[in-house]
Amino acid sequence: MPIPTSLDGRATPARPSVSPRVAIVTGGSRGIGRQTVGRLAADGYAVVVGYAGNQDEAEAAVKEAADGGGRAIAVRADVADEHAVAALFDAAEAEFGGVDVVVHAAGRARMAPIAELDLAVLDDLHRTNIRGTFVVVQQAARRVRPGGAVVTFSTSVVGLAFPGYGAYSASKGAVEALTLILARELRGRDVTANAVAPGPTATDLFLDGKDEETIARLAAQPPLERLGTPADIAEVVAFLASPAGHWINGQVVRANGGII
């Protein structure tokens, strides 16, 4: 069989056997992460479901994956706790033999005008969203196998600059910066790093605390005239994680129905 070559004639790097691929999904108990667990399990990945405290939902995610014929386990790990996250990766390696894909969906949001935000809320938010992302991608940088992918989560609000989103958007700006540098630091490893930046998506994080009028106003904003669904976003993640999406690297993918 001929060795596949690039246009300049050099051999492309050989890929190790990729079956079954193993994915860690932080925030896998609910929302976008939960949908991603099911999507990746349906693609044949063995999945480790990371969660903060919602054990019932994490176990339900595992059951859904198993009901679809997939393999999954749930591991509790606060993403900002480096020991817990190291144990999460240890569990993936012990149970499934390694890590190919890390989807870091865990995150929190708190909205308030900058003039009014309690700084304790700022610290808490940034602990999860910035420190948590750093801790997770640090382990990913050390452990993801060749051919793999790291997917983090930003938000389209980094570009949209909605009032009230200052602390949250700042934390996600940090995620974008970190992810793009990670992609460059992974040179030679054959591992991609990209951020997905959803627009308004129908999950607890978006819906909680909003009245119907606000939800309807935001749903009407994209040209596609609806909220995103967790499935819309899970499809993007699954593509970025897959060999088919491997040429996309060091990008922020604004998955938002065209909202401006």
Interacting residues toward ligand NAP by CB under 6 A:
26-27, 29-33, 51-54, 57, 78-80, 105-109, 128, 132, 153, 155, 198, 200-201, 203-206
Minimum CB distance to ligand NAP smaller for 48 or for 145: 48
What six digits make up the tokens of 228? 């995103």
Position 114: which residue type? I
- The DSSP element (H or E) to which 190 belongs, if any, is none
Question: Is the distance from CB of 92 to CB of 102 less than 8 angstroms?
Answer: no
In the complex, minimum distance from the CB of residue 131 to ligand NAP, in angstroms, rounded to a whole number: 9
Minimum CB distance to ligand NAP smaller for 103 or for 147: 103
Minimum CB distance to ligand NAP smaller for 204 or for 225: 204
In the complex, minimum distance from the CB of residue 186 to ligand NAP, in angstroms, rounded to a whole number: 21
In the complex, minimum distance from the CB of residue 86 to ligand NAP, in angstroms, rounded to a whole number: 14
In the complex, minimum distance from the CB of residue 82 to ligand NAP, in angstroms, rounded to a whole number: 12
Q: Where are the alpha helices (DSSP H) in 68-118?
A: 82-96
- Express the helix, strand and coil content of the chain in percent, nearest 5 each: 45, 15, 40
Structure-token match 């044949």, residue found? 44
In the complex, minimum distance from the CB of residue 78 to ligand NAP, in angstroms, rounded to a whole number: 4
Among 138, 155, 122, which residue's Cα sits nearest to residue 79? 138
Catalytic hit among 45, 51, 165, 168: 168
Minimum CB distance to ligand NAP smaller for 31 or for 147: 31
Sequence-distant (≥ 6) Cβ neighbours of residue 155 within 8 angstroms: 165, 168, 169, 172, 197, 198, 199
Minimum CB distance to ligand NAP smaller for 15 or for 63: 63
What is the per-residue DSSP string for 24-81? EEETTTSHHHHHHHHHHHHTT-EEEEEESS-HHHHHHHHHHHHHTT-EEEEEE--TT-
Tell me whether residue 165 is one of the annotated catalytic residues: no
What six digits make up the tokens of 76? 């509790």
| Residues forming the active site | 168
